Structure 1
């Protein structure tokens, strides 16, 4: 009798619970199918078309592989026309910059994605995300530890980086050397793999600006190569907006090494002009290289070669650079991201590197382009630069076939890594 009485007393609650089952189930389904929102932390600086290129590259991947995800860009710097360029290409991606916008995104977004970069650039912002929200995050295509400096500086690690990388849903490194370094130094993230730099997906364009410049300088599509100079350390102190005091040690080292590094590029320019119908366009990847290009590549050229070489005397943005590279027959020089943007468009590109630039250059080996990767401190590598550039100029068909193979691998990794992000969002 007591059991019957207890049952009757509990019956209304049981009936109510059963009636709510469909609602609870629907609520759970709604949570699973609700549009996900993520923050992309990216856009590190605007004086370098490569650093600019990370952002539209990753945004284009998100647009392609996660079209139903709400993406909000949290940029570090979008001045100098970069914001307009991004808004034109991605009109539906809001830029969150004010404290209120950032806080609102922290409240509403499920995931933070740290974009490609030279290191864990936004360490403090990832820490803030973890401390304030406790939500998931991932790292997409960085060099690690990414210290630009002398030999004694390059192995230095911030212990916070180890912790943040380990607790991420995934930690993707843009070169295998960084991946190995992370494993050796205690990073224990459940998914740690190679992932191509986000700039491999860049597709911003400014065809009108590129065509106007090429017409002005009598450069025809497919009949010129691009070349890029560089010092061991970018002399950022030359740019007023950077507000940096000169680094005398780095300046002295630049002076010591600049001829060794740029002379082989200059020799390749001479060989191309004298042995092929190609012209050469000297371009900057960062703003300091406008001056360096004139000093190290253009001014020392013989007069007969100068007549077929164009020095670009002002900086540009990523969209015009991409449109120019597409119209070229290829690129060579002492930088990384212009070659990346070339490969993204099917254009051959040769990378010449040195240790002071970190390990990022090894991504050329990782994507199958090791025949086009040269170390400026290895005499055997330096000796191959001129013949390799000439081969590219003389046989563009073979060069483009090599690019196509690398692109196929890059696109496979892009698809796979975006798939991992999608799973993390719906976990």
Structure 2
């Protein structure tokens, strides 16, 4: 079967899961919005990764768009490293819980708990706490259900999975950010009232820091529309290098064994772009460990004549500066997920390379009609397709932007439909 048709069919099938939701969204558009509904958003998992940062402003933007009269309180894990300031600047009415007394007050005042996007039901214990202490409803927005654990989650045992399924079953709704997670939840017997595909909240992230981005672009002679972004990644994030965590010999060994395999095609794609187009390539990070990886695996091995048109970003950035850079690029490719998500959310083309350690989240690219831009580095058949895909994206920017825009439309339609479900739950 033609893969293009298969991917389009899959995207339409995923939309078909929410036919009722679409009808509700249509009905809802004509109905007055209930004022001052109070929602407690459990999100903001960490700040060393711009993707984890993006979850929260993404969901906040969706809520602001579709429920402008709602009062949102954020219950974060972390908003340090300048993230709180970014959130308050963009969402000045946002309440952020910092103390036990503030959490207690939020439990009393808020009508609904919304668990934000993440690699799993990250705050499962807190959802249980809300359920048991308040007996109020809750919902889950845009998560992956990992079957075996991943680079960012603990191994999933059968008792742990059973407990997660029990908590999800009590939710008013669960929106899974990839169809594989939805299928797994059904297989495991999840009984939530509504279970559908719901894109990662980070698609809607629109934090901006244009002054910082423009200064960086100017300093490195990167012209709008004349560069691609490339993001490296190891199989396991070496958190022991940036956090107070013990060295993990097993994960380190896996990283070392696979790092050449996982970056060889990206490096070849950089060479191809430089040789066949007038574009530059910006090698940039999604988390605090990736500047070093990008230099070692992508930049340093390049021939000198290629390296002249490659820019390496040596320091970490926050989500606003990253988004303000991505939207001026001609596209992005690499081994990460959330920078591509933020790109598609703004109509910027993005190619994703994935592997088993990243759970099933990458399959959301098939769910939104971008199967042609998803490559499995554990599948030998996918490897030779990466460089041609990057070259095509670089050489045919109009076609690439049309494909990105179509995927963005799918995402935005689902966002509207999921918010209709939330409104019904609050009513």
Larger Rg: 1
TM-score, normalising length: structure 1: 0.90
Corresponding position: 1:148 with 2:176: no
Note closer, same or farther for the CA distance 1:63–1:262 as it changes in structure 2 (3 Å cut): same
Runs of 5+ unmatched residues, structure 1: 1-31
- Asked if structure 1 preserves the Cα contact closer than 8 Å seen for 2:119 and 2:152, the reply is no
* 1:75-123 deviation per Cα after TM superposition (whole angstroms, max 9, x unaligned): 1100000000000000011111210110000001100000001100001
Note closer, same or farther for the CA distance 1:88–1:251 as it changes in structure 2 (3 Å cut): same
Report the alpha carbon displacement of residue 149 of structure 1 after superposing the two structures with TM: 5.0
Counterpart CA distance in 1 for 2:34 and 2:346 is 35
Counterpart CA distance in 2 for 1:183 and 1:98 is 37
TM-score, normalising length: structure 2: 0.90
- Asked if structure 2 preserves the Cα contact closer than 8 Å seen for 1:224 and 1:281, the reply is yes
- Indicate the SS of the match to 2:52: helix
Corresponding position: 1:245 with 2:246: yes
Note closer, same or farther for the CA distance 1:412–1:229 as it changes in structure 2 (3 Å cut): same
* 1:122-155 deviation per Cα after TM superposition (whole angstroms, max 9, x unaligned): 0111010011000000000000036215999467
Counterpart CA distance in 1 for 2:179 and 2:284 is 28
Counterpart CA distance in 2 for 1:114 and 1:308 is 43
- Asked if structure 2 preserves the Cα contact closer than 8 Å seen for 1:54 and 1:198, the reply is yes
- Counterpart of 2:296 in structure 1 is 295
- Asked if structure 2 preserves the Cα contact closer than 8 Å seen for 1:145 and 1:155, the reply is no
Counterpart CA distance in 2 for 1:393 and 1:310 is 17
Corresponding position: 1:177 with 2:169: no
Note closer, same or farther for the CA distance 1:370–1:197 as it changes in structure 2 (3 Å cut): same
Counterpart CA distance in 2 for 1:298 and 1:90 is 38
Counterpart CA distance in 1 for 2:271 and 2:65 is 42
- Indicate the SS of the match to 1:87: helix
Note closer, same or farther for the CA distance 1:152–1:39 as it changes in structure 2 (3 Å cut): closer
Report the alpha carbon displacement of residue 165 of structure 1 after superposing the two structures with TM: 0.1
Counterpart CA distance in 2 for 1:423 and 1:230 is 40
Counterpart CA distance in 1 for 2:163 and 2:181 is 16
Counterpart CA distance in 1 for 2:172 and 2:345 is 27
- Indicate the SS of the match to 1:40: strand
Note closer, same or farther for the CA distance 1:392–1:154 as it changes in structure 2 (3 Å cut): farther
* 1:231-290 deviation per Cα after TM superposition (whole angstroms, max 9, x unaligned): 111111111xx2111110010011111100001000000110111100000010111101
Counterpart CA distance in 2 for 1:187 and 1:33 is 30
- Asked if structure 2 preserves the Cα contact closer than 8 Å seen for 1:42 and 1:55, the reply is yes
Note closer, same or farther for the CA distance 1:139–1:304 as it changes in structure 2 (3 Å cut): same
Corresponding position: 1:72 with 2:73: yes
- Indicate the SS of the match to 1:233: coil
Corresponding position: 1:126 with 2:127: yes
Counterpart CA distance in 1 for 2:236 and 2:397 is 32
Runs of 5+ unmatched residues, structure 2: 1-32
Corresponding position: 1:56 with 2:57: yes
Note closer, same or farther for the CA distance 1:38–1:152 as it changes in structure 2 (3 Å cut): closer
- Indicate the SS of the match to 2:352: strand
Counterpart CA distance in 1 for 2:259 and 2:146 is 25
Report the alpha carbon displacement of residue 158 of structure 1 after superposing the two structures with TM: 3.3
- Counterpart of 2:18 in structure 1 is none
Note closer, same or farther for the CA distance 1:72–1:332 as it changes in structure 2 (3 Å cut): same
- Counterpart of 1:16 in structure 2 is none
Corresponding position: 1:138 with 2:139: yes
Counterpart CA distance in 2 for 1:319 and 1:152 is 29
Counterpart CA distance in 1 for 2:88 and 2:252 is 37
Corresponding position: 1:265 with 2:266: yes
Q: Report the RMSD for the aligned CA atoms in angstroms.
A: 1.5
Counterpart CA distance in 1 for 2:256 and 2:235 is 9
Instruction: Count residues with an aligned counterpart.
Output: 393
Counterpart CA distance in 2 for 1:304 and 1:416 is 50
- Among 203, 207, 230, the residue aligned to 1:204: 207
- Asked if structure 2 preserves the Cα contact closer than 8 Å seen for 1:175 and 1:194, the reply is yes
- Counterpart of 1:160 in structure 2 is 163
- Indicate the SS of the match to 1:158: helix
Corresponding position: 1:192 with 2:182: no
- Asked if structure 1 preserves the Cα contact closer than 8 Å seen for 2:35 and 2:69, the reply is no
- Indicate the SS of the match to 1:295: helix
Counterpart CA distance in 2 for 1:133 and 1:391 is 54
